[in-house]
Structure 1
Amino acid sequence: MAIQHAESAEGLREKVKSGGLVLVDYGAEWCAPCRNLTPILEDLSREYDGAVSIVKVDCDELPELAAEAGVMGMPTVVVYKGGQPVEKLVGLSPKPVYTGVISRYLN
């Protein structure tokens, strides 16, 4: 499943409430670490095809979502399971960190 881009606050809320495992990447176009995270998320999207949804939120376009998630730095990846946030990763991490988090909540 390809990475999705949040078009609206309501759309993201519905996706998160879907009950599955959802990784939401809060970032911005001008943020270099955010751009470096994109290939990692693309790899994860291919590897966990259908098992994990990945959604990107542009904090400049949807600042209310960033505020709701308590984003204080970018990138911030919030992991939702069953509609609830279960983990928050702030800053760019290596791919094994993200696969470890997915593995922890996918089971």
Structure 2
Amino acid sequence: MGRPVLIDFFSAWCEPCTRQTAIVDELAARIGDAVEFRKIDVGERRDLIAKYQLVTVPTIVIEKDGLVVKRFERLTDAGTLETILTSLIDDHA
């Protein structure tokens, strides 16, 4: 079983995306290597728009073992994300 993956889908022109990415960066610094963090600019990776059925940014997708566990299509606070990720890390331990 692999570690959880948090994917931060953003666009460079999106102000809420900038705030979301700062939250994700802060979370990555706290959690460390227990979670894989990925940042994807939808302008550069248009192929993933269809794959993940993106309709808005920011969008956060949390996966575990290749399956989507949770998805947020709005600015999401660090506490909410950390609670979900911690539960997935605990499941892995």
Aligned residue pair count: 90
Q: Letter of the 1:29 partner, please give it.
A: A
**TM-score normalised per structure 1:** 0.78
Q: For 2:7, what is the secondary structure of its paired residue?
A: strand
Q: Letter of the 2:49 partner, please give it.
A: A
RMSD, aligned α-carbons: 1.3
Q: Letter of the 1:106 partner, please give it.
A: I
Q: Is 1:95 aligned with 2:78?
A: yes
Instruction: Tell me which stretches of 4 or more aligned residues in structure 1 moved more than 4 Å.
Output: none
Q: How does 1:14-29 map to 2 (within 5 A)?
A: 19-29=2-12
Runs of 5+ unmatched residues, structure 2: none
**TM-score normalised per structure 2:** 0.89
Q: Letter of the 1:68 partner, please give it.
A: K
Q: Is the 2:4–2:35 Cα contact (8 Å) retained in structure 1?
A: yes
Q: Is 1:104 aligned with 2:91?
A: no
Q: Letter of the 1:81 partner, please give it.
A: K
Q: C-alpha displacement at 1:104, in angstroms?
A: 2.4
Runs of 5+ unmatched residues, structure 1: 1-17
Partner Cα separation in structure 1 for residue 60 and residue 89 of structure 2:
16
